[in-house]
Amino acid sequence: METERNVMRLEIPEGANVQILIGQTPALALPDETRSRHPAVGVGGLMVKGVLGGVVVVTVATLGLHMMLTGTQAAAGGETPARRADQVPPAFQRQIEQQPTVTPPPGQQPPGKNPFGLEN
């Protein structure tokens, strides 16, 4: 007497995701709902995103221009203690007028003249 074997023949199309479970399903098995969750974005959705992006760009540019003009007017009107470009603060002028101090690296004696032909 020939025993009948349980044979299962499945036709699986190419590219299909297959999961074979024998017995009970695992506790963390979730159905694949990725295709139903992401509906196709229509032309209307793209237009709304484009318009909102344009509004943001125009708003930022307008605010930047306003801030730049406000800062320029404040400096020209003397509202801030900012100096003109051709003025040098007195403390900086005194620092520039001081002779520089050249210190040789440790272990070297200062030569009579430095590589630039100036005396130390």
Residue 19 lies in a domain: no
**pLDDT value at residue 109:** 67
- How many distinct structural domains can be found in the chain? 1
User: Which is nearest to 99 in space by CA: 118, 80, 76, 116?
Assistant: 118
Residue 57 lies in a domain: yes
Backbone angles phi, psi at 119, to 5 degrees: -85, 145
Residue 110 lies in a domain: no
Residue 55 lies in a domain: yes
pTM: 0.31
Q: Which domain holds residue 63?
A: 49-73
**pLDDT value at residue 4:** 66
**pLDDT value at residue 62:** 92
Residue 2 lies in a domain: no
Residue 32 lies in a domain: no
pLDDT tens digits along 17-47 = 887 777 776 666 666 666 665 566 677 788 8
pLDDT tens digits along 54-111 = 999 999 999 988 888 877 666 666 544 555 667 888 888 888 888 887 777 887 766 6
